[in-house]
Structure 1
Amino acid sequence: MFCRVLGLVLCSTALTVYFDSHSIGTVVLTSLACSLLLQLAYFASVLFLIWRSGLVSRAGQRAEDFGSCKEVGSQPPDHDEVMSESADLLQSQMLTISLLLP
């Protein structure tokens, strides 16, 4: 498909330039310049698609990270569990202090 479009554009450009200038040298030079511009445009479009796919993959990764953070934070701890953990921590600290004091 790309080769067909490239050939069509180059032939139409060559015919237009030839009917306008009646010079084969100008036709060859213009066709080469047109070919170079088309290749540059193709290369730039490929780079753009690569850049855009990178953005999409990074956005997807951020969405996954956000979703995992949201899942972790969506269930608040139970009040009784927090209190029992605090009491256990307090008991262990008091035991450590009592062992250190004579």
Structure 2
Amino acid sequence: MPFRIFCRVLQLVLCANAITVYFVSHSIRRVIITTFGTSLLLQVAYFGSVLFLVWRARCNRRAVERTGQRRCDSDHS
């Protein structure tokens, strides 16, 4: 997922989260804390997915160097 799309999705999720928390709790403090926590969680998930993609690409490169074919994943995406 390109970074620009990630930022837009992050904004949508955070706004929806803030609105939902506010309507449920009627507390601005809880909205700020929950939105901050959600933001951190989503950023950690994005960073983890980038690390996974780097690991998978490295694994594919090693397989190609050893045997001349892909072995780490079944699809070529």
Does TM-score exceed 0.5, indicating one fold?
yes
2:21 counterpart of 1:13: no
- Offset at residue 18 of structure 1 (A): 0.3
Query: 1:27 corresponds to which letter in structure 2?
Result: V
Larger radius of gyration: 1
Partner of 1:79: none
- Offset at residue 40 of structure 1 (A): 0.2
Within the candidate set 33, 45, 49, 1:45 is matched to 49
- Offset at residue 58 of structure 1 (A): 0.4
Sequence identity, in percent?
Answer: 59
SS in 2 for 1:41: helix
- Offset at residue 11 of structure 1 (A): 0.2
List alignment gaps of at least 5 residues for structure 2: 69-77
- Offset at residue 41 of structure 1 (A): 0.2
- Following TM superposition, where does structure 1 have runs of at least 4 consecutive aligned residues deviating by more than 3 angstroms? none
1:2-39 Cα deviation digits (max 9, x unpaired): 11101000000000100000000000000000000000
Aligned residue pair count: 64
- Offset at residue 51 of structure 1 (A): 0.3
- Offset at residue 61 of structure 1 (A): 0.5
2:64 counterpart of 1:60: yes
Query: 2:38 corresponds to which letter in structure 1?
Result: C
List alignment gaps of at least 5 residues for structure 1: 65-102
Query: 1:15 corresponds to which letter in structure 2?
Result: I
Question: How large is the Cα RMSD of the aligned pairs?
Answer: 0.6
Greater helix percent: which structure? 1
